[in-house]
A and B are shown apart, each in its own frame.
Chain A
Amino acid sequence: MKRSLTLEIALTHLLTKRKQTVVAMLGVTFGISMFLVMISFMTGVNDFTKNLAMEEAPDIRIYNPLEIEKNTIIAKAAPDTTGNLYVVHHQRPKNVVPKLRNAIMLAQSLEAMPEVKGVAPQVATQVFFNNGPIRITGSLQGIDVKKQGELFTLARKMDAGELIDLLGINDGVILGYGLANKMNVGIGDRLSITTSEGSILMLRVVGIFSYGLADFDNARAYATLATVQKVMQRDPSFITDLHIKMYDNNQAKAMAATISKRFGVHAEDWSTANAPLLAGESIRFAMTGIISFTLLLVAGFGIYNIMNMNIINKLKDIAILKATGFESRQIVGIFLWQSAIIGLLGGVVGLLLGYGFCVALSHTPFPGGSVVRIATMPVNFNPQHYIMGFCFGVITTVLAGFFPSLKAAKVDPVQIIRG
């Protein structure tokens, strides 16, 4: 009864000052809806770029990196350094054969590990793509068509033709969308490639892929392992990369370390390979957080001001309520209810408005140009953001109303009544 009495007084106050109530509510509404738009768009962009880079990227990549031999040969010949000083200027890198030793065996034992979803072997090499007088550099990747299709998204990124068509003919090739455009070739056309060693091979275009990332689409082509091994004049055991997909890619870092240690190979996980991308993501996230927090804080200050004004206007009422026996906590209750109602109503409207903005944004065309191919703005619809925005909004309003309410409870009725 008593609690509903404070609620009743609070509601009456709100309803008689409708305009003021609506203004206070709008503060919360805009705060929350802008927060939602910001965070949905930000995480949308984050997810989009991450997917773009991650979908085709392996969780762990095993390859032979170029390394400078730290131990000079002269130091090996005369290990006793007392009185000697070896200085070797401009040491050349060792001739590292990109071939992974025992790659097929290694792939098999990796696939036996429970955390590993699958291993796709690759042969990667730099080539010139020639069509008539045009020579374009790019990379040609020999893939295990079946494994690649299972583990990565290439099959779903085909603009024309099918990934499986590679298996249908000898020396087929799938070109990136940009690369095919530059050379003006389509399905069924032929082009030749030249390796750095000088060997030449004619390939027939069987498909065109597009990831939406210029780096890939303008300079990459896929062929079967056998085709690439042939043009490089290598035997079928020649594998340069093993691309590993994990069931849980968050374990990749630990797994990469385990693999390096156990098999004595160079294993690089996705977070190391894409460190700048991840850094960008956390910076964007921090920015979103700061701006959203500021928005809600401003709304909170607005409510603080309105509640303060409200209480100054209601000093007489507070005095009479105290004189007739209302206790401090009930006075606090009256004003806290008001800010809570403002927060709840403003929050609900803010959620709806924010959702509306997000829907509108997700239908807005995005001028991606030739760098990324995307039709509309990437917007993330995550219910967690809505819950978070609502809670933040209500907590801010209640806090903003709490301190003025405490002040109201401290009003000395004698001073007000005596004037």
Chain B
Amino acid sequence: MEFIYYFGEVFTPISFMLLVGGTIGGLILGATPGLSPTMAVALLIPFTFRLEPAHGLILLGAAYTSTVAGGAVSAILLKIPGAPANIATTLDGHTMATQGRGAEALQLSFLSSAAGGVFGVLLLIFLTPMLAKWALAFGPSHLFWLAILGVTVIGTLDTNSVVKGLLSGCMGMWLATIGFDDIMGAQRFIVHPSLAGGISIVPALIGLFAIPQVLAMFARGRQPVGSDVIAVQKHPIGKAMREMTRRWRALGIGTAIGSIIGLIPGIGGQIAGLVAYDQAKKFSSERQNFGKGHSEGVIAAESANNAMVGPSLVPLLTLSVPGSPTAAVLLGGLLIHGIFPGSDLFDNHPDVAWTFINSMLIGQVLMCIFGLYVAGLAARVAQVPQYVMAAVVLGLAVFGSYSVQNSMGDVYVMAALGIGMFFLERFGFTAAPLVLGLILGPIAEANFTQGSMIADATDGRFSYFFGGTLNIVLILIVIASVAYLAWMEVLQRRQDRADQANEAKA
């Protein structure tokens, strides 16, 4: 309950101003394509040089929470996921926006972000010591199985065909191996100099999601004025709140999965949204509506990726081990003020530690308020004529992917992947499984290599990868997930055959 004593600190004029500024700035940065939360926080670090430690951290904490939520704005309105965390949001969120339900999608995303986010920060406040152990329980073998589990999600993300979904996933994993391999430093599949740095995830995301979108808008050609204007529906906030409480199952699944997966160093933040989306879909009674603008998809994805914010800082704050790239940047923000995370932080600088955590709690609420305030207005983006939209998204995609590393190579990769994806999409392939492969490939590979090296030096590969309770539990979940996949495929086949028979009769 110690944290309550420090709430006053958050509401002093300077702190609160920074909090509001950080939140609004974070929302804008988060909505900018190409700017992941990590980059946004890194950009803000220099501003904190001149501030008091607690004030600097308020700014960083507020920016971290709101950039994660801000990523949903471009995901919903432009179909450009700001970071891997927002991939799942595009699936239903953007569909809703094209149906004129952008305001509803944005409101739901901010509300569920706040709900998930507050829960995550409360976990950070009350359960940190316990969670720290859990975060460290995942060694290379467990992370390997977790990545494999992620791969099995691919099958259900793709609504058309399990085989094509898995094939896209394989292509994604292969794309991830391009460039220098991380451990040996050997060159792999570098057929063009712009691939030497490997395929970075943010430019790939932008290309795979935004470019097919642009080309699809071109495909409509020069349409007469007025034919493609979408009527943007007004959506009262109260209705969004009722919708969210009605979809408590998706909210619960998203929050729980985000909190649990967010804890695991190195993997959590990137896939929390996708795994939550997949699970919400499996447990939903309206499974068939996912991907067609279903509110549960947005709720699950967004509650998960904000729930992960709090727990993802547990390893950093307790053990001084940054569990995610953003946490690593936050570590820098602490260090420049001479504050070492770990027992030092909570024992000698409790004011800094708790003010920081409290600011994330308040930040979640502020983010939600500002978000809801602009949702109705922002949804009007859908009314921008298609031909302007196509050019704007193309421009944003180029600027966004360039700015990640100041690299033209990234822009080429973005465009090549995007154009390829457009044509593949016409033939039943989808981007989401490919991206999941791209994210999970390196995790699976690195942990497999490291695990084998440790296993070779100690008790052998078999007992290393298949022994221990946690390994066995994870393997069982993988098997269950594959079985579910096979079962769905069988059902689908049966359905197809029935449809064909009906067609033949008619």
A and B pair up = no
